[in-house]
Amino acid sequence: MNKIHPLASVHPNAKLGDNVEIGPYAFVDEFVEIGDGCRILPHATIFNYVKMGKNCSVFPGAVIGAIPQDLKFDGEVTYVEIGDNVNIRECATINRGTKASGKGVTKVGSNTLIMSYVHIAHDCCVGEHCILVSYTGIAGETTVEDWAILGGGTLSHQFSKIGKHAMVGGGSKVNKDVPPYILCGRDPLSYAGVNIVGLRRRGFSPDQIRGIKDMYDIIYNAGFNFSDACTKIEAGFPQSEERDAILDFIRNSKRGIVRGMTSNSKGEME
């Protein structure tokens, strides 16, 4: 049985699952699907063309499905898709996609935490088990892969890509792609080692972590350019999910990956 406050505004055509709670002054538009067990808290707004999975929470002031802040948008029908068990905290904003991008959908994967005042722009794809800390803003068509963490106040350039299990230090400006499994921070954004603590917490074995570290030593510390480093890794390391993820990410990067720390880098990792 759903629990809809009499002061909520819910379009009669909106599709609600079971045990959905909608608080006072929340707004749910016509072409919206909300899965079982979701909580739409007071003053949250869900505009048209949003599909939300099960057991999500949308906190006061959050706005999901507003039209994209993109001059190429021409009123076309585009979407936001939210997975299961997603928490969207106070005043976060998630915009719809654009057809001009060739995607037309903005996605947030299951078990992801979107903290307060985060902005997810048109056609972004945020993976599963991610954390976007307060005041982070990711520009249009940014990709954030599974298990990545973006520290508070991170700003990501349009078309950027953050690899899986990567962690970006708070206040960073992401203008290059961030490969999987690494820590990065400082200004300009630089490689700062492997995300060892995060990988241990997620069940990576000591051998897996050592292999990842050895590969990144070749990429960043052995004096090779990135192309030659990838060739050396492919020849010198046995096939594994981690090796393939690193090689595929670097070889397919369109913006280029973050550089190693230089003498011009400043600041400390949080």
pLDDT number for residue 263? 45
The answer to whether the predicted template modeling score (pTM) of the entire model surpasses 0.75 is yes
Picking from 53, 50, 43, the residue whose alpha carbon sits closest to that of residue 22 is 43
Considering 70, 84, 119, 122, which one is annotated as catalytic?
A: 122
Residue 129 annotated to the active site: no
Give the model confidence (pLDDT) of 76-126 as tens digits.
999 999 999 999 999 999 999 999 889 999 999 999 999 999 999 999 999
pLDDT number for residue 253? 97
Q: Is the pLDDT of residue 264 over 70?
A: no
Q: Are 38 and 14 in contact (CB under 8 A)?
A: no
Q: Are 32 and 65 in contact (CB under 8 A)?
A: yes
Residue 122 annotated to the active site: yes
Considering 35, 109, 127, 140, which one is annotated as catalytic?
A: 140
pLDDT number for residue 105? 98
Considering 109, 123, 165, 177, which one is annotated as catalytic?
A: 123
Report the alpha-carbon distance of residue 64 to residue 45 in Å, rounded: 6
Amino acid at 207: D
Residue 109 annotated to the active site: no
**Residue pointed to by tokens 């990135």:** 226
Q: Is the pLDDT of residue 163 over 90?
A: yes
